[in-house]
């Protein structure tokens, strides 16, 4: 049936298969940003910032990437020198 539609669409939703990963990244981004507001430990804050950074890279939204790298780096009480953000920022 998909060949008859003339494009790569999912059968159940009719959405383009190529745009589905971008929409998934956008939805994940929204959820991670909302979840980060409820993080209580510095380690969890950094983990949520990393998740937001990954989604931002997936969406090619580098303004968000830069913003959340700064937020993660400014999180107090985190062993910064051994953390992946510190290592990646020094490359």
The answer to whether residue 51 sits within a structural domain is yes
The answer to whether residue 79 sits within a structural domain is yes
- Mind listing the pLDDT tens digit for each residue in 3-42? 444 444 444 444 554 556 667 888 888 888 888 788 888 8
Q: Give the span between the Cα atoms of 83 and 11, in whole angstroms.
A: 43
The answer to whether residue 7 sits within a structural domain is no
Range of the domain at 66: 19-89
Question: Which pTM value belongs to this model?
Answer: 0.62
Q: Give the span between the Cα atoms of 58 and 37, in whole angstroms.
A: 22
The answer to whether residue 76 sits within a structural domain is yes
* Burial of 49: CB neighbours in 10 Å, binned 0-12, 13-18, 19+: buried
Q: Which of 28-42, 59-73, 74-88 is predicted most confidently?
A: 59-73
The answer to whether residue 29 sits within a structural domain is yes
Is 76 strand, coil or helix? coil
The answer to whether residue 33 sits within a structural domain is yes
| Number of independent structural domains in the chain | 1
Rounded to the nearest 10 degrees, the angle between the axes of helix 42-58 and helix 62-73 is 170
């Amino acid at each position: 049936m998909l060949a008859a539609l003339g494009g790569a669409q999912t059968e159940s939703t009719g959405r383009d298969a190529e745009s589905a990963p971008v929409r998934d990244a956008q939805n994940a981004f929204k959820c991670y940003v909302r979840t980060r507001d409820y993080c209580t430990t510095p380690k969890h804050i950094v983990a949520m910032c990393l998740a937001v950074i990954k989604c931002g890279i997936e969406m090619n939204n580098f303004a968000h990437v830069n913003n959340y790298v700064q937020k993660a780096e400014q999180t107090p009480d985190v062993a910064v020198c051994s953390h992946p953000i510190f290592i990646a920022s020094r490359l």
